[in-house]
């Protein structure tokens, strides 16, 4: 019966792919105005931040290079969809295999504990390295140089927290979910309920951003309609989880990580080959690039600083072009470093390995893979800057998110035109696989929280046989997947970029404090768990809702007025009969529309942000810890204290942890 379900899901997925293949794209080229919309994938996306910057360019004090031909990014639809179909075919065959292995709840939620440390390390990396990182970080580096590299450091450092604090204890103390860890020495029903709510909230925030990003990326690159892309991604996501469970999800993440590292490595080799494999000459070419010098001089002028020539080129390799608010960066860094250790879909990965040693090994391997990945994205970002120029990149996408894809197409075409199309198609497919892997992990985490924590342990009071547990898990996964598709369709026009920051903030403020205190504080109890999760979650969500992440029409209108003045001044300075160029004309037209909303308010009824930072971590994380501590002290529980020795021994030795299941 399971195999028949697989065939049905495969048929639906292939029919959607066929429909997309048959439909002619309305516009295969990615223009600047449309490409910016694709940056809804993540808050770390450069366009999210650069979108608020001034849209016009101030004349630089240096000689401006001659304007180049307008650059476009066009994916060969036939080659790209064929590549997509190949990856879908491989991953669906994995699902068919995994479905035959999935017989118990342990199989569904934790792959029977039979994943090796090496495999789990690759799967963690695949779960963590998002399309936003691959495209967004390299794009940020291509426009802002050194600061883009610094922006990626938080993701790597985060795994030091995971390794030192939560990996081994969580693997030994838990079973499938966050609720398992927290309910060991507390009142299980209320604790599992709040843990499930937090898990679903974090997963939904992250899932929505990924789904919207997937739809817009596919629409931009190959002309597949947004709704078709969302439904296609959703069906594949549901198929991976419902039929294959954690085993299928794990292997999809491993395949995706391998593809991503292969593509990044190959492109990095081509970048180095262009520089004669000489890193000194490579960075010299960046410093001496007239286009980069011109770009940096304009960025510096916005801060009232004049830079010329080599000085401007050197500035591209120094900090300060993008990261200009240290407090905001500290807050973001806190959310990333601490939030990763509280992300439910990351915590679930440690229940898939047979021993605590394998859990530690998996984190170390993941750190090496992720670290290597960010080194490669750094090389790709600088390579895009010197080979494509920042101006050429911004013609396609103001935020730079298409830089890696443009670079792949150009460097491949330098070998032969067909290689350009093949390389671009491959990287588009990798981005697609990346999104599939991430959303599958999120759906599995959310469904586990609902089925295992709420249905089995709260509603059924733990009295459910294996067949019933697996059935509940699959039905819940299907429902969560459908809800994800519906939310993705509804959010097409919404700015969801802040949702990833919100997911990490909730995980860092609500989940991490209670996990750490549950494992390491003897007095910690039910009151502490509920207080920490509730206060941390509400504080992080509330602060984001009144932060600069929201849209404030009055603030937008004030910026639009400045653009109108600047464009009209520029128009007046042109020779008689001359008109503004296309980008300036679009900026002026958009500004005239934006200025009409000067009397509007945000969705919270505010005219300007009450909380000035984009990420609430610096406030909400301490609040989560304080609430957890106060809740514990206000509602002391002797049983929780007496059981601490048992969980302490268990988390350090693994005694009582279920053994791996042979397959």
CA angle (37 as vertex; 590, 300 as ends), nearest 5: 70
pLDDT tens-digit map of 255-287: 989 999 999 999 999 999 998 999 899 999 999
- What gap in Å lies between CA 325 and CA 319, rounded to an integer? 12
SS3 percent helix, strand, coil of the chain, rounded to 5, is 75, 0, 25
So what's the pLDDT on residue 497? 63
- What gap in Å lies between CA 30 and CA 587, rounded to an integer? 17
CB 133 within 8 A of CB 321: no
Best CA proximity match to 617, nearest among 343, 336, 199, 346 = 336
C-alpha distances (whole Å) from 46 to each of 72, 304, 544, 550, 636 are 19, 22, 18, 16, 47
Please give the DSSP secondary-structure letter assigned to residue 374.
H
Q: What is the mean pLDDT of residues 74-97?
A: 87
pLDDT at 386 over 60: yes
Domains of the chain: which residue ranges?
2-493
- What gap in Å lies between CA 20 and CA 244, rounded to an integer? 26
Confidence of residue 71 (pLDDT cuts 50, 70, 90): low
Q: What is the mean pLDDT of residues 396-413?
A: 88
Return phi, psi of residue 605, to 5°. 80, 20
pLDDT at 429 over 50: yes
CA 272 to chain centroid: 28
Q: What is the mean pLDDT of residues 455-463?
A: 88
So what's the pLDDT on residue 48? 35
Q: What is the mean pLDDT of residues 22-27?
A: 36
Token representation of residue 608: 């300007």
Token representation of residue 602: 């945000």
| Stronger pLDDT, 74 or 615, i.e. the higher one | 615
Provide the angle, in degrees to the nearest 10, between the axes of the packed helices 279-287 and 226-274: 110
Q: Where are the alpha helices (DSSP H) in 449-525?
A: 466-490, 498-506, 512-520
- Mean pLDDT: which of 28-42, 452-466, 467-481, 622-636 is highest? 622-636
pLDDT tens-digit map of 152-186: 777 778 878 887 788 888 888 777 888 888 888 89
pLDDT tens-digit map of 236-258: 888 889 988 999 999 999 998 99
pLDDT at 19 over 60: no
Q: What is the mean pLDDT of residues 412-423?
A: 90
Q: What is the mean pLDDT of residues 507-518?
A: 93
pLDDT tens-digit map of 570-592: 788 888 777 877 767 777 888 88
So what's the pLDDT on residue 609? 86
CATH of domain 2-493: 1.20.1740
pTM for this entry = 0.79
pLDDT at 30 over 70: no
pLDDT at 207 over 90: no
Confidence of residue 535 (pLDDT cuts 50, 70, 90): very high
Confidence of residue 222 (pLDDT cuts 50, 70, 90): confident
Best CA proximity match to 70, nearest among 509, 543, 393 = 393
Give 510's strand partners. Answer: none
DSSP string, 347-411: HGGGGSSSSHHHHHHHHHHHHHHHHHHHHHHHHHHHHHHHHH-HHHHHHH-TT-TTHHHHHHHHH
| Residue % of the chain over a pLDDT of 90 | 27
- What gap in Å lies between CA 411 and CA 271, rounded to an integer? 8
- What gap in Å lies between CA 411 and CA 420, rounded to an integer? 7
pLDDT at 390 over 90: yes
pLDDT at 16 over 50: no
Instruction: Specify the range with the lowest mean pLDDT, choosing from 431-440, 535-544, 591-600, 643-652.
Output: 591-600
Q: Chain-wide mean pLDDT for the chain?
A: 81
So what's the pLDDT on residue 60? 37
Token representation of residue 574: 């042109």
pLDDT at 1 over 60: no
Q: What is the mean pLDDT of residues 282-301?
A: 89
């Amino acid at each position: 019966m399971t195999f028949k379900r697989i065939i049905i899901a495969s048929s639906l997925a292939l029919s959607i792919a066929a429909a997309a293949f048959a439909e002619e794209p309305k516009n295969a080229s990615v223009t600047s105005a449309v490409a910016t919309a694709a940056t809804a994938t993540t808050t770390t996306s450069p366009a999210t931040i650069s979108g608020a910057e001034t849209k016009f360019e101030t004349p630089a004090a240096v000689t401006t290079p001659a304007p180049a031909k307008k650059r476009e990014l066009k994916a060969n639809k036939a080659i790209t969809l064929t590549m997509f179909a190949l990856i879908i075919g491989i991953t669906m065959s994995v699902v068919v295999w995994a479905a035959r292995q999935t017989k118990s709840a342990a199989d569904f939620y934790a792959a029977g504990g039979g994943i090796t440390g090496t495999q789990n390390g690759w799967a963690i990396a695949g779960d963590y390295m998002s399309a936003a990182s691959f495209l967004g970080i390299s794009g940020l580096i291509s426009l802002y140089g050194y600061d883009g590299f610094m922006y990626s450091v938080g993701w790597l450092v985060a795994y030091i927290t995971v390794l030192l604090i939560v990996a081994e204890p969580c693997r030994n103390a838990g079973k499938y979910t966050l609720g398992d860890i927290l309910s060991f020495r507390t009142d299980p029903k209320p604790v599992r309920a709040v843990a499930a709510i937090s898990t679903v909230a974090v997963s939904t925030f992250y899932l929505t951003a990924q789904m919207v990003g997937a739809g817009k990326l596919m629409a931009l690159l190959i002309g597949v309609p947004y709704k078709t892309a969302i439904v296609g991604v959703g069906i594949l996501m549901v198929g991976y989880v419902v039929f294959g469970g954690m085993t299928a999800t794990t292997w999809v993440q491993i395949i995706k990580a391998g593809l991503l590292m292969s593509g990044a490595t190959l492109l990095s080799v081509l970048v180095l080959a262009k520089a004669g494999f000489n890193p000194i000459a490579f960075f010299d070419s960046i410093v001496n690039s007239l286009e980069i010098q011109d770009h940096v001089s304009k960025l510096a002028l916005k801060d009232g600083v004049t830079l010329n020539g080599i000085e401007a080129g050197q500035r591209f390799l120094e900090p300060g072009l993008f990261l200009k608010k240290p407090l905001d960066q500290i807050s973001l860094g806190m959310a990333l470093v601490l939030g990763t250790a509280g992300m439910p879909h990351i915590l679930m990965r440690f229940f898939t390995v047979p021993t605590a040693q394998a859990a530690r090994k998996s984190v170390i391997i993941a750190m090496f893979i992720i670290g290597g990945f960010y080194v490669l994205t750094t090389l790709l970002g600088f390579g895009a800057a010197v080979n494509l120029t920042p101006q050429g990149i911004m013609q396609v996408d103001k935020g730079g998110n298409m830089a890696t894809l443009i670079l792949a197409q150009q460097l491949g075409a330098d070998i032969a035109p067909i290689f350009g199309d093949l390389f671009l198609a491959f990287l588009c497919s990798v981005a697609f696989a990346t999104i599939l892997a991430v959303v599958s992990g999120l759906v599995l985490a959310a469904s586990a929280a609902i089925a295992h924590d709420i249905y089995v342990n709260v509603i059924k009071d733990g009295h459910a046989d294996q067949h019933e547990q697996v059935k509940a898990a699959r039905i819940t996964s299907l429902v969560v997947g459908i809800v994800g598709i519906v939310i993705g369709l509804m959010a097409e026009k919404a700015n969801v970029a802040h949702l990833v920051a919100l997911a990490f903030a909730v995980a860092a403020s609500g989940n991490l404090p209670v996990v750490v205190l549950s494992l390491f504080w003897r007095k910690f109890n039910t009151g502490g768990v509920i207080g920490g999760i509730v206060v941390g979650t509400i504080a992080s969500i509330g602060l984001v809702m009144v932060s600069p992440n929201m849209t404030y029409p009055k603030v937008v209108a004030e910026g639009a007025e400045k653009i109108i003045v600047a464009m009209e001044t520029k128009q007046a300075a042109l020779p008689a009969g001359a008109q503004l160029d296309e980008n300036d004309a679009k900026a002026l037209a958009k500004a005239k529309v934006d200025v009409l909303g000067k009397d509007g308010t945000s969705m919270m009824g505010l005219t300007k942000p009450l909380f000035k930072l984009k990420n609430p971590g610096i406030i909400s994380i301490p609040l989560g810890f304080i609430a957890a501590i106060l809740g514990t002290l206000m509602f002391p529980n002797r049983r929780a204290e007496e059981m601490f020795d048992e969980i302490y021994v268990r988390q350090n030795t693994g005694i009582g942890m279920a053994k791996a299941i042979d397959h």
